[in-house]
Amino acid sequence: MAEIEEYNKEVSMRRKKLKRIKEAITGYLFISPATLILLTFSIFPSLFVFYISMLRWNMIGPKQFIGLQNYENLLFRSPYAPEFWHSVLVTVEYVALSVPLQIAISLGLAILLMKPIRFRGFFRLGIFISYVTPLVATSIVWMWMFKENDYGIINAIFKMLHLHTVKWLLSFPPALIAIVIYVSWHEIGFDTIIFMAGLSNISQELKEAAEIDGANATGVFWNVVWPLLSPTTFFILIISMIGAFKMFTPVFVMTSGGPYNSTTTMGYYLYVKAFQDWRAGYASAVAVMLFIFIFALTLLNMRFTGRKVFYAGETQSNGEVANEKA
Protein backbone atom coordinates (compact mmCIF):
# COMPACT_ATOMS: atom_id res chain seq x y z
CA MET A 1 0.00 0.00 0.00
CA ALA A 2 2.84 2.40 0.87
CA GLU A 3 4.46 1.81 -2.53
CA ILE A 4 1.16 2.47 -4.33
CA GLU A 5 0.62 5.73 -2.40
CA GLU A 6 4.19 6.82 -3.16
CA TYR A 7 3.67 6.01 -6.83
CA ASN A 8 0.42 7.97 -6.91
CA LYS A 9 2.16 10.96 -5.32
CA GLU A 10 4.91 10.83 -7.97
CA VAL A 11 2.32 10.64 -10.75
CA SER A 12 0.40 13.55 -9.25
CA MET A 13 3.58 15.66 -8.96
CA ARG A 14 4.52 14.86 -12.56
CA ARG A 15 1.06 15.89 -13.74
CA LYS A 16 1.27 19.16 -11.82
CA LYS A 17 4.72 19.80 -13.24
CA LEU A 18 3.54 19.10 -16.79
CA LYS A 19 0.55 21.36 -16.22
CA ARG A 20 2.82 24.18 -15.04
CA ILE A 21 5.08 23.68 -18.08
CA LYS A 22 2.08 23.74 -20.43
CA GLU A 23 0.78 26.92 -18.78
CA ALA A 24 4.20 28.53 -19.07
CA ILE A 25 4.51 27.55 -22.75
CA THR A 26 1.00 28.85 -23.42
CA GLY A 27 1.84 32.15 -21.74
CA TYR A 28 5.07 32.54 -23.71
CA LEU A 29 3.22 31.78 -26.95
CA PHE A 30 0.66 34.48 -26.17
CA ILE A 31 3.33 37.14 -25.52
CA SER A 32 5.65 35.99 -28.32
CA PRO A 33 4.12 38.27 -31.04
CA ALA A 34 4.48 41.37 -28.85
CA THR A 35 7.96 40.26 -27.76
CA LEU A 36 9.01 39.71 -31.38
CA ILE A 37 7.74 43.16 -32.38
CA LEU A 38 9.52 44.74 -29.39
CA LEU A 39 12.80 42.98 -30.22
CA THR A 40 12.57 43.80 -33.95
CA PHE A 41 11.53 47.43 -33.81
CA SER A 42 12.83 48.64 -30.44
CA ILE A 43 15.56 46.64 -28.70
CA PHE A 44 17.56 45.52 -31.76
CA PRO A 45 17.55 48.99 -33.42
CA SER A 46 18.67 50.56 -30.13
CA LEU A 47 21.61 48.18 -29.86
CA PHE A 48 22.38 48.64 -33.56
CA VAL A 49 22.50 52.43 -33.14
CA PHE A 50 25.12 52.03 -30.41
CA TYR A 51 27.12 49.80 -32.77
CA ILE A 52 26.85 52.31 -35.63
CA SER A 53 28.00 55.11 -33.33
CA MET A 54 31.46 53.49 -33.29
CA LEU A 55 31.72 53.48 -37.10
CA ARG A 56 32.54 55.92 -39.88
CA TRP A 57 29.74 55.19 -42.33
CA ASN A 58 27.71 57.15 -44.87
CA MET A 59 24.95 54.48 -45.07
CA ILE A 60 26.10 53.55 -48.60
CA GLY A 61 29.81 52.76 -48.62
CA PRO A 62 31.84 50.38 -46.46
CA LYS A 63 31.88 50.68 -42.66
CA GLN A 64 35.06 51.65 -40.82
CA PHE A 65 35.39 50.97 -37.10
CA ILE A 66 36.75 54.04 -35.25
CA GLY A 67 35.85 53.23 -31.65
CA LEU A 68 34.81 56.23 -29.56
CA GLN A 69 36.07 58.86 -32.00
CA ASN A 70 32.56 60.07 -32.83
CA TYR A 71 31.93 60.70 -29.13
CA GLU A 72 35.24 62.55 -28.80
CA ASN A 73 34.34 64.69 -31.80
CA LEU A 74 30.90 65.74 -30.60
CA LEU A 75 32.00 66.33 -27.02
CA PHE A 76 35.41 67.97 -27.38
CA ARG A 77 36.65 68.60 -30.92
CA SER A 78 35.91 71.57 -33.15
CA PRO A 79 33.85 72.11 -35.30
CA TYR A 80 31.60 69.30 -34.05
CA ALA A 81 31.57 70.08 -30.32
CA PRO A 82 30.31 73.71 -30.64
CA GLU A 83 27.50 72.54 -32.92
CA PHE A 84 26.50 69.71 -30.62
CA TRP A 85 26.57 71.75 -27.41
CA HIS A 86 24.62 74.52 -29.12
CA SER A 87 21.89 72.00 -29.99
CA VAL A 88 21.92 70.81 -26.36
CA LEU A 89 21.51 74.42 -25.15
CA VAL A 90 18.62 75.05 -27.54
CA THR A 91 16.96 71.82 -26.42
CA VAL A 92 17.31 72.74 -22.75
CA GLU A 93 15.86 76.22 -23.44
CA TYR A 94 12.95 74.64 -25.26
CA VAL A 95 12.30 72.15 -22.44
CA ALA A 96 12.50 74.89 -19.81
CA LEU A 97 9.94 76.99 -21.70
CA SER A 98 7.51 74.37 -22.95
CA VAL A 99 7.14 71.86 -20.11
CA PRO A 100 6.08 74.31 -17.32
CA LEU A 101 3.78 76.10 -19.77
CA GLN A 102 2.08 72.87 -20.83
CA ILE A 103 1.61 71.71 -17.25
CA ALA A 104 0.21 75.07 -16.07
CA ILE A 105 -2.24 75.49 -18.96
CA SER A 106 -3.42 71.87 -18.94
CA LEU A 107 -3.97 71.94 -15.15
CA GLY A 108 -5.99 75.14 -15.42
CA LEU A 109 -8.08 73.73 -18.25
CA ALA A 110 -8.63 70.47 -16.37
CA ILE A 111 -9.92 72.36 -13.31
CA LEU A 112 -12.27 74.42 -15.48
CA LEU A 113 -13.54 71.40 -17.41
CA MET A 114 -14.30 69.53 -14.19
CA LYS A 115 -16.78 72.23 -13.21
CA PRO A 116 -20.50 71.81 -14.14
CA ILE A 117 -20.48 74.23 -17.07
CA ARG A 118 -22.67 74.15 -20.19
CA PHE A 119 -21.34 72.26 -23.22
CA ARG A 120 -18.64 70.68 -21.05
CA GLY A 121 -18.46 67.58 -23.26
CA PHE A 122 -17.99 69.74 -26.36
CA PHE A 123 -15.15 71.69 -24.78
CA ARG A 124 -13.48 68.49 -23.59
CA LEU A 125 -13.63 67.10 -27.11
CA GLY A 126 -12.29 70.35 -28.54
CA ILE A 127 -9.31 70.34 -26.18
CA PHE A 128 -8.38 66.76 -27.00
CA ILE A 129 -8.75 67.11 -30.79
CA SER A 130 -5.54 69.14 -30.95
CA TYR A 131 -3.58 66.16 -29.60
CA VAL A 132 -4.83 63.64 -32.17
CA THR A 133 -4.28 65.89 -35.22
CA PRO A 134 -1.18 65.06 -37.32
CA LEU A 135 1.95 66.98 -36.37
CA VAL A 136 3.02 67.75 -39.94
CA ALA A 137 -0.39 69.07 -41.03
CA THR A 138 -0.90 71.27 -37.98
CA SER A 139 2.73 72.47 -38.13
CA ILE A 140 2.09 73.75 -41.65
CA VAL A 141 -1.10 75.49 -40.53
CA TRP A 142 0.66 77.19 -37.61
CA MET A 143 3.60 78.10 -39.86
CA TRP A 144 1.17 80.09 -42.03
CA MET A 145 -0.41 81.59 -38.92
CA PHE A 146 3.04 82.84 -37.84
CA LYS A 147 3.87 84.31 -41.27
CA GLU A 148 5.18 87.85 -41.15
CA ASN A 149 3.19 89.02 -44.21
CA ASP A 150 -0.56 89.62 -44.56
CA TYR A 151 -1.21 85.86 -44.60
CA GLY A 152 -0.18 85.49 -40.97
CA ILE A 153 -3.30 85.68 -38.84
CA ILE A 154 -1.37 86.40 -35.63
CA ASN A 155 0.36 89.45 -37.08
CA ALA A 156 -2.95 90.50 -38.65
CA ILE A 157 -4.48 90.53 -35.17
CA PHE A 158 -1.51 92.55 -33.92
CA LYS A 159 -2.13 95.10 -36.69
CA MET A 160 -5.81 95.35 -35.75
CA LEU A 161 -4.76 96.09 -32.16
CA HIS A 162 -2.17 98.63 -33.39
CA LEU A 163 0.70 96.54 -32.04
CA HIS A 164 4.08 95.92 -33.61
CA THR A 165 4.20 92.85 -35.83
CA VAL A 166 6.74 90.13 -35.10
CA LYS A 167 8.90 88.16 -37.52
CA TRP A 168 8.01 84.97 -35.70
CA LEU A 169 9.93 82.43 -37.75
CA LEU A 170 12.70 84.72 -39.03
CA SER A 171 14.22 86.02 -35.80
CA PHE A 172 15.38 84.81 -32.42
CA PRO A 173 13.89 84.34 -29.82
CA PRO A 174 10.45 84.61 -31.51
CA ALA A 175 11.17 81.50 -33.60
CA LEU A 176 11.71 79.34 -30.53
CA ILE A 177 8.73 80.94 -28.78
CA ALA A 178 6.55 80.17 -31.82
CA ILE A 179 7.51 76.50 -31.63
CA VAL A 180 6.81 76.46 -27.89
CA ILE A 181 3.36 77.97 -28.50
CA TYR A 182 2.52 75.44 -31.20
CA VAL A 183 3.74 72.39 -29.30
CA SER A 184 1.96 73.54 -26.14
CA TRP A 185 -1.27 73.86 -28.12
CA HIS A 186 -0.76 70.39 -29.59
CA GLU A 187 0.13 68.61 -26.34
CA ILE A 188 -2.19 70.17 -23.77
CA GLY A 189 -5.06 67.92 -24.89
CA PHE A 190 -3.32 64.82 -23.57
CA ASP A 191 -2.12 66.51 -20.38
CA THR A 192 -5.57 67.94 -19.69
CA ILE A 193 -7.23 64.54 -19.96
CA ILE A 194 -4.68 63.02 -17.59
CA PHE A 195 -5.16 65.86 -15.09
CA MET A 196 -8.94 65.42 -15.31
CA ALA A 197 -8.52 61.73 -14.51
CA GLY A 198 -6.41 62.65 -11.48
CA LEU A 199 -8.92 65.26 -10.31
CA SER A 200 -11.80 62.80 -10.60
CA ASN A 201 -10.01 60.46 -8.18
CA ILE A 202 -9.81 63.09 -5.42
CA SER A 203 -12.51 62.55 -2.82
CA GLN A 204 -15.10 65.31 -2.61
CA GLU A 205 -15.36 64.66 1.11
CA LEU A 206 -11.80 65.91 1.67
CA LYS A 207 -12.60 69.17 -0.11
CA GLU A 208 -15.78 69.63 1.90
CA ALA A 209 -13.92 68.92 5.15
CA ALA A 210 -11.34 71.61 4.28
CA GLU A 211 -14.12 74.08 3.49
CA ILE A 212 -15.80 73.32 6.83
CA ASP A 213 -12.47 74.07 8.54
CA GLY A 214 -12.54 77.50 6.92
CA ALA A 215 -10.39 77.02 3.84
CA ASN A 216 -11.27 79.09 0.78
CA ALA A 217 -10.95 77.87 -2.82
CA THR A 218 -7.22 78.69 -2.93
CA GLY A 219 -6.59 76.92 0.36
CA VAL A 220 -8.50 73.84 -0.77
CA PHE A 221 -6.44 73.69 -3.94
CA TRP A 222 -2.99 74.08 -2.33
CA ASN A 223 -3.66 71.96 0.77
CA VAL A 224 -5.91 69.23 -0.61
CA VAL A 225 -6.04 69.07 -4.40
CA TRP A 226 -2.40 69.81 -5.25
CA PRO A 227 -0.84 67.23 -2.86
CA LEU A 228 -3.26 64.51 -3.98
CA LEU A 229 -2.61 65.45 -7.61
CA SER A 230 1.17 65.14 -7.25
CA PRO A 231 1.39 61.58 -8.72
CA THR A 232 -0.47 62.76 -11.83
CA THR A 233 1.70 65.88 -12.08
CA PHE A 234 4.86 63.82 -11.68
CA PHE A 235 3.78 61.46 -14.47
CA ILE A 236 2.98 64.36 -16.82
CA LEU A 237 6.30 66.03 -15.94
CA ILE A 238 8.30 62.92 -16.87
CA ILE A 239 6.37 62.24 -20.08
CA SER A 240 6.48 65.90 -21.16
CA MET A 241 10.21 66.23 -20.56
CA ILE A 242 10.99 63.07 -22.51
CA GLY A 243 8.81 64.24 -25.40
CA ALA A 244 10.34 67.74 -25.31
CA PHE A 245 13.88 66.40 -25.54
CA LYS A 246 12.92 64.30 -28.58
CA MET A 247 11.04 67.11 -30.35
CA PHE A 248 11.76 67.20 -34.10
CA THR A 249 8.77 67.58 -36.44
CA PRO A 250 7.77 71.22 -35.65
CA VAL A 251 11.36 72.39 -36.15
CA PHE A 252 11.68 70.43 -39.38
CA VAL A 253 8.46 71.85 -40.82
CA MET A 254 8.36 75.39 -39.44
CA THR A 255 11.95 76.66 -39.18
CA SER A 256 14.39 74.01 -40.49
CA GLY A 257 16.57 74.83 -37.49
CA GLY A 258 16.75 78.55 -38.29
CA PRO A 259 17.20 81.35 -38.09
CA TYR A 260 20.96 80.87 -37.70
CA ASN A 261 20.49 77.50 -35.96
CA SER A 262 18.57 79.18 -33.13
CA THR A 263 15.96 76.38 -33.16
CA THR A 264 18.29 73.48 -33.94
CA THR A 265 17.38 71.00 -31.22
CA MET A 266 19.20 67.73 -30.65
CA GLY A 267 16.56 65.86 -32.62
CA TYR A 268 16.91 68.13 -35.64
CA TYR A 269 20.72 68.19 -35.35
CA LEU A 270 20.67 64.39 -35.43
CA TYR A 271 18.55 64.46 -38.58
CA VAL A 272 20.87 66.94 -40.34
CA LYS A 273 23.98 64.88 -39.64
CA ALA A 274 22.32 61.62 -40.67
CA PHE A 275 20.31 62.58 -43.75
CA GLN A 276 21.94 65.76 -45.03
CA ASP A 277 25.61 65.25 -44.18
CA TRP A 278 25.33 61.42 -44.46
CA ARG A 279 27.34 60.84 -41.29
CA ALA A 280 25.43 57.90 -39.85
CA GLY A 281 28.07 57.05 -37.26
CA TYR A 282 28.25 60.58 -35.89
CA ALA A 283 24.44 60.94 -35.92
CA SER A 284 24.14 57.66 -34.02
CA ALA A 285 26.54 59.01 -31.39
CA VAL A 286 24.26 62.06 -31.07
CA ALA A 287 21.29 59.70 -30.64
CA VAL A 288 23.12 57.78 -27.90
CA MET A 289 23.97 61.03 -26.10
CA LEU A 290 20.33 62.11 -26.38
CA PHE A 291 19.28 58.82 -24.77
CA ILE A 292 21.85 59.30 -21.99
CA PHE A 293 20.59 62.84 -21.27
CA ILE A 294 16.96 61.71 -21.16
CA PHE A 295 17.77 58.68 -19.01
CA ALA A 296 19.89 60.69 -16.56
CA LEU A 297 17.30 63.47 -16.30
CA THR A 298 14.52 60.93 -15.70
CA LEU A 299 16.55 59.29 -12.92
CA LEU A 300 17.24 62.68 -11.31
CA ASN A 301 13.55 63.55 -11.45
CA MET A 302 12.58 60.24 -9.88
CA ARG A 303 15.33 60.63 -7.27
CA PHE A 304 14.54 64.17 -6.13
CA THR A 305 11.10 65.18 -7.42
CA GLY A 306 9.69 61.71 -6.76
CA ARG A 307 10.30 62.15 -3.03
CA LYS A 308 7.73 64.94 -2.91
CA VAL A 309 5.01 62.85 -4.55
CA PHE A 310 2.16 62.04 -2.17
CA TYR A 311 0.50 58.65 -2.71
CA ALA A 312 -2.70 58.56 -0.70
CA GLY A 313 -3.21 54.83 -1.19
CA GLU A 314 0.24 53.96 0.18
CA THR A 315 -0.27 56.23 3.19
CA GLN A 316 -3.63 54.65 3.92
CA SER A 317 -2.26 51.11 3.63
CA ASN A 318 0.68 51.99 5.90
CA GLY A 319 -1.76 53.38 8.44
CA GLU A 320 -3.86 50.21 8.32
CA VAL A 321 -0.75 48.08 8.89
CA ALA A 322 0.22 50.24 11.86
CA ASN A 323 -3.27 49.92 13.32
CA GLU A 324 -3.20 46.15 12.92
CA LYS A 325 0.15 45.95 14.71
CA ALA A 326 -1.16 48.14 17.51
Q: Cβ(246)–Cβ(290) under 8 Å?
A: yes
pTM score of the predicted model: 0.85
Residue 66 has pLDDT above 90, yes or no: yes
Least confident of 102-116, 227-241, 305-319: 305-319
pLDDT in tens, 267-278: 999 999 999 999
pLDDT in tens, 72-117: 999 998 888 999 999 999 999 999 999 999 999 999 999 999 888 8
What is the architecture of the domain spanning 69-325?
Answer: Orthogonal Bundle (1.10)
What rounded mean pLDDT belongs to the chain? 88
Phi/psi at 15 (5° precision): -65, -40
* Residue 280, C-beta contacts closer than 8 angstroms, at least 6 positions apart: 52, 55, 57, 58, 59, 274
Q: Which of 45, 51, 71 is nearest to 285 (CA)?
A: 71
